[in-house]
């Protein structure tokens, strides 16, 4: 089945055994080859919508439709096969590196080239480069001393590689960059932009800078749709999305200003610092810790004091 459109049509849902309505009368569409970002505070129901789409649970009211047909009318296997999904809590497997990728699409027969491409596209290339036995390296040291243990962010990259490896017509990503460092996150979204051309995409993200990848943004709050529109429309509307966006922007601005102020204070302090450098005075250590010039200033110190500060290590972190 080729997924072209996805529609949530007046969907309500409570997890079995709980009385709490997690989703209430939710309706929105992801059009053909459209990219939609789901945004909302923790617990607003984003991941639950994805679980309903894959029929991990069935809706209590309303319907989820693919290409206009209620998903309960498709064979479960066909439905799930048509998506490539990255889950927020994707597990890692105690298999080797190759198997950790190919498990996503066991019917593919194009060998290691496709596996390696998926690994590099997801930003996990450095894992492969370090792997003592290449794709045969076990991702555990339990059975093999040559095995590798990975960090949370590295496992996330591998899970994304699995998502990229799987052939699909629709891509679903639930918080794909939550554990990634800023560079990996930047590269991931560049890659996703390329990778998802001509595909129907639904993704969630708390990092609103990534949301610019989407054609449309749907904001959920307490299981209800609060806003639905393009990023520009929602920013102009001045509602919840604009508020969340402003928080992130203000934080970024504050960080930028702080760096700028440090620069200013360094400029103002320059004459004092010059004297301290010439005297090699201990308070200088504190001051360079608080300036963005600490490395360049370090070079102007006598080697003896430089070593002392380097031994102090944490002063520079
Ligand atoms: N298996 C479950 N059983 C019962 N309640 C659940 C279950 N999974 C999630 N919930 C509840 O459903 C609500 C929505 O959870 P969901 O995981 O969809 O939120 P989310 O928007 O994805 O949040 P986050 O931003 O933290 O990922 C929450 O109140 C949560 O406690
Ligand atoms: Mg979630």
Question: What SS3 string covers 192-222?
Answer: HHHHCCCCEEEEECCCHHHHHHCCEEEEEEC
Residue 248 DSSP label? H
Ligand 1, atom 24: nearest CA belongs to which residue?
42
Ligand 1, atom 18: nearest CA belongs to which residue?
45
Assign 32 a pLDDT band (cuts: 50, 70, 90): very high
Q: Which domains does the chain have, with CATH numbers?
A: 1-82+194-229 (3.40.50.300), 83-167 (3.40.50.300), 241-312 (no CATH)
Beta strand ranges found along 175-297 (DSSP E): 200-204, 216-221, 224-229
pLDDT tens digits for 121-132?
A: 888 999 999 999
Q: Does residue 244 register a pLDDT over 80?
A: yes
- The predicted model scores a pTM of 0.79
The pocket around ligand 1, CB under 6 angstroms, is made up of 15, 18, 22, 40, 42-48, 88
Tokens of 80: 């799930």
pLDDT tens digits for 262-304?
A: 554 545 545 555 555 555 544 444 444 444 444 445 555 545 4
Please report the pLDDT score of residue 264 as a whole number.
45
Tokens of 203: 């993704």
Tokens of 11: 């969907």
CA distances, 39 to each of 10, 11, 257, 273, 279 (Å): 18, 17, 28, 48, 55
Tokens of 267: 């400029």
The phi, psi pair for 283, rounded to 5°, reads -60, -20
Number of C-beta neighbours around residue 49 at 10 A: 26
Ligand 1 atom, smallest distance to 48 CA: 18
């Amino acid at each position: 089945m080729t997924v072209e459109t996805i529609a949530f049509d007046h969907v309500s849902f409570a997890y079995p055994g709980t009385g709490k309505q997690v989703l209430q009368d939710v309706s929105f569409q992801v059009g053909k080859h459209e990219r939609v970002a789901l945004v909302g505070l923790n617990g607003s129901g984003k991941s639950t919508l994805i679980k309903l789409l894959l029929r991990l649970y069935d809706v209590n009211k309303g319907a989820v439709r693919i290409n206009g047909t209620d998903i309960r009318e498709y064979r479960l296997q066909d439905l799930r096969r048509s998506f490539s999904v990255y889950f927020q809590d994707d597990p890692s497997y105690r298999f080797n590196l190759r198997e950790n990728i190919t498990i996503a699409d066991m019917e593919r027969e194009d060998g290691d080239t496709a596996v390696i491409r998926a690994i590099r596209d997801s930003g996990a290339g450095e894992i492969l480069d370090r792997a003592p036995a290449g794709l045969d390296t076990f991702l555990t040291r339990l059975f093999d001393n040559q095995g590798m243990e990975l960090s949370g962010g590295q496992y996330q990259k591998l899970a994304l590689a699995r998502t990229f490896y799987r052939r699909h017509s629709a891509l679903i990503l639930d918080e794909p960059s939550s554990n990634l460092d800023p560079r990996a996150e930047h590269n991931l979204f560049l890659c996703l932009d390329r990778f998802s051309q001509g595909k129907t995409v639904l993704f969630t993200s708390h990092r609103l800078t990534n949301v610019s990848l989407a054609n449309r943004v749907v904001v959920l709050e307490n299981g209800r749709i609060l806003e639905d529109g393009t990023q520009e429309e929602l920013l102009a509307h001045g509602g919840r999305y604009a508020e969340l966006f402003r928080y992130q922007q203000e934080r970024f601005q504050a960080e930028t200003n702080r760096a700028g102020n440090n620069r200013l204070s360094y400029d103002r302090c320059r004459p004092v610092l010059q004297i301290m450098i010439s005297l090699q005075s201990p308070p200088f250590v504190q001051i360079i810790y608080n300036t963005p010039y600490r490395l360049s200033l370090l070079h102007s110190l006598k080697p003896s004091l430089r070593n002392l500060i380097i031994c102090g290590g944490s002063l520079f972190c």
